[in-house]
Structure 1
Amino acid sequence: MCQRGIKVTHVSKGSSSTKIQRFIPLANGLTDNMKSFAVFLLVLRYLSVSHGCTCMEGPQQFPAVQIDAGQGNVVMTDGNNYAYFLLGSQWYKMGSLNLKHVSVGPAGIWGVDLNNRVYKYVAGSFVFANGESLQQVDAGGDGQVVGVTDTSTIHCLKSTIASDYRKQSTLSWTTITGGLMYFSCSSKYGCWGVNSLQNIYFTRVTPSTCGISGWIQVDGLAVMVEIGTDGSVFVVTRGGEVFQRQGIDSSTPQGTSWTKIPMPSRISHVSYDRGNLWVVTDYGTILKCLY
């Protein structure tokens, strides 16, 4: 777990300065955004997070907007609203459909387009799933799919319906009481969400019925929350800081406290899976932080 600050790794005297000086002439023809991106990556090569966690440059598809990881798979959307799937160290475009959010997990790969229409990725293409308009969707639960609308209503697709969906048809979503602007589930320990006031909530969702155990408000404020397959929970604050929830177990699934995760830049999105914290910075770069 990352508990301490950023440190500069050891380099020979003058080596980093020399490399940066060599880099500057190459940057003259770049736009300001490209310069910021290039300098950020250069500096990142000399930075690591101490005490058990190291952040490094991940596979890039610039500018990245949103990322999601689950069951060993990683997907993302970029600034052009295209979805990508990570194979090895290379991002592969998942068709020509414009998507603003994509999620991968036990329920498969699901996404929403610019008009809040929902899709499932089936046999190499996204299949439209009529029935509910969502601005964010999550496939990380125990087979169920959850999502929220642009008016903060919460919806859930039962696990049997989600797994059986193969061809275009109208799906029957279950409405969950409450109001959230972001919702994330795991097959372990339950689901987490944040509302428009940045309040953080926890609940358990029954995959086969979409019934919930009731909402528990958790201390802290955040604009997004993600829960990994193993139950690890991370949030991003309005200021771009990242925190991990501590004390989560079967008897206390809502956890007990937050620990700040030091980052070399403001962060806009995170996702955690199998020891890797995938991070999207405000620059649109992707970091891979190893636990």
Structure 2
Amino acid sequence: MKGVVAFLLGIGYLAITDAAWTCAEAPRLYSVRQVDAGLGKVVVRDAHSNAYFLTGLNWNRLSTISIKHVTVGPAGLWGVGINNVVYKYVAGTFKPSTGLSMLQVDAGNDQVVGVSPSSIAYCLNSRITLSYRGVGSLSWRSLSRRLKYSSCGPLGCWGVDTNDWIFFAQNMKPSTCSTSGWRMLPGRLTMIEVGTDGRVFGVTKQGDVFERTGISTARPFGLNWVHIPMCMAMRHVSYDLGKLWVVSKSGLIMHCSS
């Protein structure tokens, strides 16, 4: 814990406290690399670029298409192939799109946001995301920010850049993909995820998990980063309906409750 405290003080965190979460192993799936949860659904991607959907206690493979990032939420179920093609899951299969290539996408709100291979953040408005059925080109709008990972919720969009700096854009309008601009926040994370209720979690380069607390409509970017102790180093996190899903650097997936 001393190492974590020193790290946080060095980069200007506002508070250092431990949040009490109880974790248990999720239904077993080997070599998991990424998890996403939204609207009561959970999807993962493993080291072999297979995407799975959790049904009860069983993981069901979504497709034979190789996927390197998968997401589920109000905008539907989307993925990015190993060739950077964006897919939407329609009628039981991933349908490829034409248009811009992406490295990562997020369906955590009515719009979809993504990050291109050139580290530029983009957005698909809610009309496009909800109506797309796998035919035609997707029209992405630039969000005017260089990022490597992005995620949106009801109060705005969060992202981290290639230097792990954290950014927040307030007043994201799903119908137009417009925002009131980006602001840089204290701390450094390798990835960040927003729940459909607005709670925000992230993982550091060292594998430590944090939650952004103090988020409200009056202060949508929150107040503090709170450390969530884990029994091992983590690589990825997602949150939905009171449950935190975490993937360790060794490929183990767990779920935690506070």
Q: TM-score, normalised by structure 2?
A: 0.91
Out of 209, 214, 234, the position equivalent to 2:201 is 234
Q: TM-score, normalised by structure 1?
A: 0.81
Quick one: which amino acid aligns to residue 80 of structure 2? V
- Give, in angstroms, the shift of residue 176 of structure 1: 1.3
**Runs of at least 4 residues off by over 3 Å:** none
Matched, 1:132 2:97: no
Matches within 5 A, 1:25-64: 52-64=20-32
Amino acid at match of 2:69: H
Aligned residues: 240
Residues 192-211 of structure 1: pairs in structure 2 closer than 5 A = 192-204=158-170, 205-211=172-178
In the alignment, is the contact (CA less than 8 A) between 2:19 and 2:227 conserved in 1? no
The DSSP-based 3-state class of the residue aligned with 2:146 is coil
Counterpart in 2 of 1:243? 210
> Matches of 2:188 and 2:63 in 1, distance apart?
36
Query: How big is the shift at 1:159?
Result: 0.3
Equivalences for 1:78-93 in 2 at 5 Å?
78-93=46-61
Equivalent in the alignment of 2:241: 274
- Amino acid of the residue matched to residue 251 of structure 2? G
Q: Structure 1 residue 217: deviation in Å?
A: 0.9
Aligned partner of residue 250 in structure 1, secondary structure: coil
> Identity, % of aligned pairs?
48
Contact 2:37 2:71 (8 Å CA) reproduced: yes
Report the residue type matching 2:30 in the other structure: F
RMSD: 1.1
Offset of 1:193 from its aligned partner? 0.2
2: CA distance between counterparts of 1:131 and 1:52?
44
Please identify which structure carries the higher helix content.
1
CA distance in 1, matches of 2:240, 2:32: 18
CA shift for structure 1 position 51: 6.7
**1:261 partnered with 2:221:** no
Distance in 2, matches of 1:258 and 1:52, equals 14
- For structure 2, the residue ranges without an aligned partner over 5 or more in a row are 1-17
Asked whether the equivalents of residues 78 and 86 of structure 2 are also in contact (C-alpha less than 8 Å), the reply is yes
Greater Rg over alpha carbons, structure: 1
Give the counterpart of 1:218 among 170, 179, 185: 185
Q: Is the alpha carbon distance of 1:170 and 1:240 closer, same or farther for their aligned partners in structure 2, counting shifts above 3 Å?
A: same
Q: Counterparts in 2 of 1:2-151, with a 5 A limit?
A: 52-141=20-109, 143-151=110-118
More strand, by proportion: 2
Distance (whole Å) between structure 2 residues aligned to residue 167 and residue 128 of structure 1: 6
